[in-house]
Amino acid sequence: MQPVLLIDFGSTYTKVTAVDLSGPTLLGTAAHFTTVETDINEGLNNALGELSKKVGTLDYTARYACSSAAGGLRMITSGLVPELTAEAARLASLGAGAKVIKVYAYELTEEDIEEIDALKPDIFLLTGGTDGGNRAYIEQNARMLAQCKTRFPILVAGNRSSTTTCLRILEGREVTACPNVMPKLGALNIEPTQNEIRALFLERIIKAKGLSTAAELIDGILMPTPAAVLSAMELLSGGTKTTPGLGELVGVDLGGATTDIYSIAAGHPDHDAVMKGLPEPYAKRTVEGDIGMRYSALGVLEAVGVERLAELSGLSEAQVLAMTEHISAQPDSLPDTEDYAALDYAIACAAIETAVTRHAGHLEEIYTPTGPAYMQMGKNLTGVTKLVVTGGAIIHNQQAPLIARHAFYTESAPFSLKPKTADIYIDRRYILASMGLLGQNHPDAALTIMKKELEYHGTAE
């Protein structure tokens, strides 16, 4: 046996997974409340105790971990034009597993600096201008950032003609130069910056969030949890040299406070549409910070309206309003009555419906001298035929396949480019983050385990 331990320090639960590489086989999983406010090792040890009851005492050959505890990796970005360099900076941050708490465009103001100080980001990503293009904005924003009272690492990834000037302006702070995230108009180069974000997460953020003691007990906290999930999605989609993957897919991770959506797909326009805006990364992650099952239940209500939740749940609008406020005020509550179970189902459906709609691209109808035409904004996911879903509200719900179908296209939103239909795979044992970790060193084993363990539900019509 070659047992490996995989740990996910989540914001609410610390989840542990044991696998045997010689199978490769999933041995067992367990979870316990994350205890970051006191000693994170307490929650880890409790989870390990539960795991040992299931798999026995094992001599692990390796231990790997990811973390989204203590708020995860919180980033702020700034760029020049909202739809261009600012969007490129946001995509770079999200793809690295960060939670983007603010995006600025054009010049930073005194009020912006006060807000940045109050938000206390883990990392600030400063971008702006194509190479050889506008220098004024990024250099002025560097001068403004130099006034911040809060100390945080700054990554400079804008117009390369301004890099030396920005580094000089920010001298005395922790600042790193990266290649421009948008070296020329319409071209993305975000991977080098993502690698630097992950390196900072390992070197500095772990210590800042009190995880260094836990890190000493394992072989390394490798990445933020969302980056591990994205890595698992890429592996599941693309496969390895010896084992094929599933092909293009969409992934949904429905949490209590946020909903993460992943697409591993080209997303090119159909023959009758032309692309508008930045090219989309093949592997894309978005985070809906206002959409979730507990802390963000009111965000779901605001997004879809009380009428939609009443329709999905079969409850009255007055019941929906009162019960949603209760859930938001007591996010640790579980659905303990039929009415609350019905509302949970409705919130989950609406959350997925909203989050996938925001992630997917859409068409805009325009009129030309030769007649109507279509512009595509974002990714075209209509042809994607695989949907992977995870998150407590889904994997513990027997109606999970019905909930998952709310990721699909409906005629009520004819210009949306959501998947039309897909095979549904449910992560019942909550292993995606762990498999993303395992895949860093043992991709074939991770892919084999995912193919075994993800619950298949066939094509949803």
For residues 179 and 243, membership in a common domain is answered with: no
Against a cut of 0.85, is the pTM above it? yes
Summarize pLDDT for 171-193 with one digit per residue, the tens. 999 999 999 999 998 889 999 99
Classify the C-alpha dihedral 408-279-160-139 as positive or negative.
Answer: negative
CA dist., res. 108 & res. 113, Å (int)? 7
Confirm whether 162 is domain-assigned.
yes
Is 177 found in the same domain as 127?
yes
- Spatial separation of the C-alpha atoms in residues 180 and 200, rounded to whole Å: 18
Query: Based on the domain organization, do 49 and 110 belong to the same domain?
Result: no
The verdict on 177 and 244 lying in the same domain is no
- Find the mean pLDDT for residues 261-273: 91
Tens-digit pLDDT profile for residues 41-91: 788 889 999 999 999 999 999 999 888 866 678 999 999 988 888 999 999
Question: Across the strands, what pairs with 260?
Answer: 253, 287
* In contact, 309 and 346? CB cutoff 8 Å: yes
- CB–CB of 120/152 below 8 Å? yes
Q: Is residue 339 part of a domain?
A: no
Same structural domain, 81 and 169: yes
Same domain, 359 and 301: yes
* Together in a domain, 89 and 54: no
| Residue that is last in its domain, among 185, 219, 253 | 219
Q: Which segments of 1-95 are extended strands (E)?
A: 3-9, 13-20, 25-33, 62-67, 74-79
Residue 52 burial (10 A CB sphere; 0-12, 13-18, 19+): middle
Q: Is 323 helix (H, G, I), strand (E, B) or coil?
A: helix
What are the angstrom distances between the C-alpha of 185 and each of 108, 133, 136, 180?
A: 22, 10, 17, 11
Kindly state whether residues 366 and 294 are assigned to the same domain: yes
* Phi, psi of 280, deg, nearest 5: -90, 135
Q: Is the domain of 137 the same as that of 196?
A: yes
* 276 and 258 together in one domain: yes
Q: Is the pLDDT of residue 461 over 60?
A: no
My answer on whether 292 and 416 are in the same domain is: yes
Q: What's the structural domain count of the chain?
A: 3
Beta bridge partners of 126: 78, 156
Nearest to 440 by CA among 62, 83, 2, 149: 62
Select from 105, 96, 27, 106 the least CA-distant residue to 61: 27
Query: Same domain for 60 and 103?
Result: no
Q: Can you tell me the distance from the alpha carbon of 221 to that of 160, in angstroms, rounded to the nearest whole number?
A: 32
